Amino acid sequence: MTKIVFMGTPAFSAPILRMLHEEGYDIAAVVTQPDRPVGRKKVLTPPPVKEEALQLGLPVIQPEKLRGSQELEEILALNADLVVTAAFGQILPKELLDAPRLGCINVHASLLPAYRGGAPIHQAIIDGQATTGVTIMYMAEKLDAGDIISQREIAIEDTDNTGTMFDKLSAVGRELLKETMPSIIDGTNARVPQDESLVTFARNISREQELIDWNNEARALYNQVRGLHPWPVAYTTFEGANFKIWVAKVGETSTNAAPGEVVKIEKDHFEVATGNGGTLALYDVQPAGKKRMTAEEFLRGTGSKLQIGDRFE
């Protein structure tokens, strides 16, 4: 039986781990990130893959940093035939890449060589892409640069956000890996080098990328909001404080107002002027120090004094 070490961290990875277990592969260990404090109360919370592994009765290893660690020696001592990673969150050291007889493979949430890096789903939506997909690939020392084994493309619907695409791509990745695993084990799989001339990157989302620039066109801001939903969430500032925008749509109003100016207030939303004479309609927001709320709740309460001409910065 093929002995596997699985490495993954977020909810994207958990169904892939479960599939490998259900298919009867010998999972010698599950490697994931350490528990982290979450929320305002900083409750120490295990990553989704750890929760899944414990439910399946699998041993868990949680290195803070894999390279040079005692945990790395522990993983190498398992003498796994194959390492499978899916959004693990750390670069694998060369001694681990070289160890398994079948190599180390990765389930990456983009159609490589597009969107190498840690935020391929966020970036594809922010960029307004109509399609994305999943790549099963061999891992190399260079980030997401290994040979491609298999790929599957899916559409990004206009109503999709990063949360819905995580779920869709996780399901695609699970099925694609399930179909590809037998060929990897018997050595009949494809192995296609990536075209370096087509490489693009999707680095981890920075705080600067979360900030709304009202000078941008409404469509670009809509893609930014849904590309950052449900995390880390786009924000602007209002009356000197941060103001998160959870859900928005491209507004139907044309305006000559300055970007950032409130131009329309309805019962369930309000519209803010954007670049090129458009508007962004805000439907789900979070003022500083408050919980997330609908725009209707905001306009009845904290934002009851909002007026046409008020300005978001």
DSSP states of 81-108: SEEEEES-SSPPPHHHHTSSTT-EEEEE
Give the Cα separation of 205 and 228 in Å (integer). 9
One-letter amino acid for residue 251 of the chain? G
pLDDT digits (tens), the chain, 313 positions: 899 999 999 999 999 999 999 999 999 999 999 999 988 788 999 999 999 999 999 999 999 999 999 999 999 999 999 999 999 988 899 999 999 999 999 999 999 999 999 999 999 999 999 999 999 999 999 999 999 999 999 999 999 999 999 999 999 999 999 999 999 999 999 999 999 999 999 999 999 999 999 999 999 999 999 999 999 999 999 999 999 999 999 999 999 999 999 999 999 999 999 999 999 999 999 999 999 999 999 999 999 999 999 999 9
Q: What does the radius of gyration of the chain's CA atoms come to, in whole angstroms?
A: 22
Give the Cα separation of 191 and 148 in Å (integer). 6
Give the Cα separation of 6 and 120 in Å (integer). 21
Q: Residue 184 in 3-state DSSP? A: helix
Give the Cα separation of 54 and 47 in Å (integer). 11
Sign of the dihedral through C-alpha 85, 88, 89, 91: negative
Alpha-carbon dihedral 97, 98, 101, 104, rounded to 10 degrees: 10
pLDDT at position 89, please?
86
One-letter amino acid for residue 307 of the chain? Q
pLDDT at position 238, please?
96
pLDDT at position 40, please?
76
Please work out, in degrees rounded to the nearest 5, the angle formed at the alpha carbon of residue 187 by the alpha carbons of 183 and 190: 65
pLDDT at position 284, please?
98
Give the Cα separation of 105 and 6 in Å (integer). 10
Strand segments, DSSP code E, in the chain are: 3-8, 26-31, 36-38, 43-45, 60-61, 82-86, 104-108, 131-138, 148-155, 234-238, 241-250, 262-265, 270-273, 279-287, 293-294
